[in-house]
Amino acid sequence: MPPEHPHGTWEQVPAGRWEDAFLSGNGRHGALVFGDPHDDRVIVTHHALVRPDAGPQPRPPALAAQLPSLQDRLLAGDVSAAERFTDGRELRWVRAFHPAFQTRFVRDSLVWRGYRRTVDFATGVAEARCGGWHSRVFVSRADDVLVQYATAPGLDGELSLDQRLTGAPARLGVGRGVVLTAQGAQLTLRCRYPQSDTAYTGVTLALVDGGRTSMGRTGVRVDGATGLLLLTRVRRHLGELDAATEAAALGDLVVGDGDPAATYAELLARHETPHRAAYERVAFDLNAPRTERGLSGSALLELPRSHALLERLFAAGRYHLLSSSGALPPRLTGLWTGEWDTAWSGAFTTDANLNLQTASAVACDLPEVTQAQGALIQGQLADWRDNAREIFGARGIVAPAHTDGESGHAYHFQRAWPMHLWTAGADWLLTPLVEQAETTGERPAWLAAAVTELALFYEDFLTRTDPDGRVVIVPSYSPENRPANASWGTLNATMDIAAARHALRTAAAWHPGPDGDRWSALADRLPDYRVNSEGALAEWAWPGLEDAYDHRHLSHLYPVWPHHDINPYDTPEWAKAAHRALELRGAENDSAHGHLHHALVAARLRDAGRVTDALQHVLTGDYFHRSLMSAHYPRRDVYNADAAHTLPALLVESLLQSTPDRLVLLPALPPSWARGSVTGLTTRFGARVDLTWGGGTCTAVLHPSRDAHVDLKTPVRGPGRLRLAAGEDRELTVRTR
């Protein structure tokens, strides 16, 4: 990777903290690479590693019989009625995500000279060099194996698998195994959770070049080697796991007679083909100076107004998002953590965080991410049906606000956060999959069925009406806020209205005929949004409920983003009210996701100034580690993927927006982005777009995959129409000022 290469980052010292370790992953296994030439450590993670609780997994509370009474009380004006809508259980968080162990090779001695560590986003390889030592680490997308390869004139030291990571349970049952082989060794680490039949097992196959192995104090002693290749997998399981079978599977990856160099090259080639193809579909360029592009990541972070920093964070965000998406989409921590006491269980929070992280997947052409989100949903649909039936007495599906990735049951109840009342989650989680279907023109059968089930839920749930015959959403909840004059569970949250309307209209469009007509009619009976006394879109459309502005969530702006129900073109008066609501919104505790959510809404409302201000707040707030993974709060407090994964979505939303019948060019271009380009973006009407701007003009080259007839919106041009023909490129040049 050349110094000015924008598709990677580098540092001059090893990672001293796990948060600064460079990252690799394939959406199942993850690796945190420290790059220490003396104590060469790599923390191994896996999406399936969640710590079991004592006892059976909680089910949703059986509250359906109490629902009519709750609705009566709320409609009668009892503003705290929902606080008693519970089965009395104590709050129980979802099961916590945790790391597996770290592979360690502690060398006897080394010569410290010319240290540098890098990660190449296009290959997924994290490297480190020091003197004659060279280490390379990646997680194979093709073979689902963590690959480590180190070379040096003399590799003498101890190799081990070490489970002693911060917060590991004192009563974790640990068993080890070492088998010496003709080619090197096989190491096994088995960890049984306290008071559980569940365990996880790591197996590492070590291939040694030019040296010998012997039994060590904690693992394997290596002497006189010039190359050391490690192949590692981890499995979570019930009962025993046949480590020999796992080792044999790793052995099947070995090339020839066990040549480490040849095996590494073969594994890298197989991995790089799908990884590079996905990563390189989209590129973002702000014409940053070559000298700034050559800076280390930590040096760039000291230049918050640098275009090179934005280029690198865009590239890193796509890389980390791709690397953490596979069996599941990214967690709050992506796919990585170095400690067991992960904030908020390292789970999936679906009332904003996961949805923000995956917001760029469709436009940035990462179907791997939407497929991972689809895998999460498909694996939980049965639990979502339980939520609808047990809590609301309805058919269909209701998504939880928190999940560990396995259980999809909604059972998070606190007086201040009654998450089980929230009904908008399924619509938000399904939205990127619906948009992906619009982009490709293909509707998976399971997705069409899920859209139908969501419409069925609303049919059964939306039975209460106001004196004008409009549907009332009751109970209703706006994550994670409350009215200034009422409790958290209430009526007609704007987000709930928008989600129900979108879900019903999507189902109606996908199912023309009697069902579609019925769902469309129900959508038309939903309440209008409300403008409060300050001219702002109200967070609750029920008369008398007062807004509470200082909050990190912007749930009431859901009809602006991620949806286009309110926009400056079709609904300018509602857009004006939404903009006023954005102006009044506080930042509460400075959560990174709050600032970027604010900016995404501002981009939809064509407010480049607010986009710039929110973006600069994040770039100047010390939210990014040297790994270019982000934190939840300023000053790198709480490792969290929200900012890192959401940033590409914001940059793209500022440059291009699309619906099935509209293309918007440069809707919120920050003034400082005088020149630049972005290539490979996809649209919901089935065309790829390459954009170049500068000098007062913008050129867009459209590559349509199907015929389309769309409205065109530009910074200075009035309404226009585009007719696109499949396979016929179309070039447009428009003025930007």
Residue 131 in domain: yes
Q: 647 and 671 in contact (C-beta within 8 Å)?
A: no
Under 8 Å CB-to-CB from 245, ≥6 apart: which residues? none
For residue 33, what is the DSSP state?
E
- Nearest to 574, CA basis, from 535, 527, 534: 535
Distance CA 688, CA 439 (A): 10
Residue 590 domain-assigned (yes or no): no
Q: Is beta strand 662-665 parallel, antiparallel or unpaired with respect to 708-713? A: parallel
CA distance 454 to 395: 9
- Other beta carbons less than 10 A from residue 20's beta carbon: 22
Three-state DSSP class for 226? strand
Contacts with 291 (C-beta within 8 Å, 6 or more apart), sequence order: none
Report pLDDT for 3.
Answer: 46
Q: Are 319 and 6 in contact (CB under 8 A)?
A: no
Please enumerate in sequence order all residues whose Cβ is within 8 A of that of 494, keeping only pairs 6 or more positions apart, or say none.
478, 529, 530, 537, 538, 539, 540, 541, 555, 556, 558, 559
Distance (Å, rounded) from C-alpha 436 to C-alpha 369? 10
In a domain, 726, yes or no: yes
pLDDT by 10-residue block (mean), the chain, 737 residues: 71 98 98 97 98 88 97 97 92 94 95 95 98 97 98 95 96 95 96 94 96 94 97 93 89 92 97 98 97 97 98 98 98 98 96 97 98 98 98 98 96 87 98 98 97 98 95 97 96 98 98 96 98 98 96 96 97 98 94 97 98 97 98 97 98 98 97 97 98 96 97 86 97 92
Name the nearest CA neighbour of 560 among 571, 551, 550.
571
**Segment 562-619, tens digit of pLDDT:** 999 999 999 999 999 999 999 999 999 999 999 999 999 999 999 999 999 999 999 9
Tell me the three-class secondary structure of 307-372, residue by residue: HHHHHHHHHHHHHHHHHCCCCCCCECCECCCCECCCHHHHCEECCCHHHHHCCCCCCCCCHHHHHH
Give the closest residue to 146 by CA, choosing from 65, 250, 224.
250
The region, left, alpha or beta by phi > 0 then psi within -120 to 50, assigned to residue 509 is alpha
Instruction: Name the domain boundary from 249, 280, 311.
Output: 280
The residue segments making up the domain with residue 696 are 676-735
456 domain residue, yes or no: no
Longest dimension (CA), the chain: 85
- Cα(94)–Cα(344) distance, integer angstroms: 9
What six digits make up the tokens of 362? 């469709």
Threshold 0.75, pTM exceeds: yes
What is the residue-averaged pLDDT of the chain? 96
* 184-192 and 198-209 strand pairing: antiparallel
3-state secondary structure of 114: coil
Distance CA 147, CA 54 (A): 35
Burial 343-368 (b: 16+ CB within 10 A, else e): bbbbbbbbbbbbbbbbbbbbbbbbbb
Residue that finishes a domain, picked among 280, 311, 337: 280
Q: How far is CA 578 from the centre of its chain?
A: 26
Q: Give CA–CA dist 577/531, Å, rounded.
A: 7
Condensed to tens digits (0 to 9), the pLDDT of residues 80-109 reads 999 999 998 888 889 999 999 999 999 998
Structure tokens at 298: 């930590």
Q: What CATH code is carried by the domain that includes residue 188?
A: 2.70.98.50
Task: Count the neighbouring beta carbons within 10 Å of the beta carbon of residue 44.
Answer: 23
The kind and range of the H/E element at 24 are strand 22-25
- What are the DSSP calls for 247-308, one per residue? HHHHHTT--TTT-HHHHHHHHHHHHHHHHHHHHTT-EEE----HHHHTS-HHHHTT-TT-HH
Give domain status of residue 157, yes or no: yes
Tokens of 169: 């349970």
d(CA 19, CA 40): 16
| Cα torsion angle, 650, 652, 658, 662, sign | positive
Residue 338 burial (10 A CB sphere; 0-12, 13-18, 19+):
buried
Q: What does the alpha-carbon distance between residue 430 and residue 449 come to, in Å, rounded to a whole number?
A: 12
Of 280, 304, 335, the residue that ends a domain is 280
SS3 for 50-105, per residue? ECCCCCCCCCCCCCHHHHHHHHHHHHCCCCCHHHHCCCCCCCCCCCCECCCEEEEE
**Residue 381, domain member (yes or no):** no
DSSP H helices in 462-513: 494-510
- Flag whether 134 is in a domain: yes
Alpha-carbon distance of 185 to 178, in angstroms, equals: 7
DSSP one-letter code for 531: B
User: Cα 130–134–138 angle (5° rounding)?
Assistant: 130
Q: Please name the residues in contact with 148: beta carbons below 8 A apart, sequence gap of 6 or more.
A: 40, 42, 103, 135, 136, 137, 228, 229, 230, 232
Instruction: State how far Cα 605 lies from the chain centre.
Output: 24
Residue-wise pLDDT tens digits, 428-480? 999 999 999 999 999 999 999 999 999 999 999 999 999 999 999 999 999 99
Q: Measured between alpha carbons, how far is residue 469 from residues 73, 464, 729 in Å?
A: 19, 9, 50
Judge residue 546's burial from the number of C-beta atoms within 10 Å of its C-beta, 0-12 exposed, 13-18 middle, 19 or more buried.
middle
Number of separate domains in the chain = 2
609 Cβ contact partners less than 8 Å away, ≥ 6 residues apart:
none
Rounded to whole angstroms, the Cα distance separating 698 from 694 reads: 7
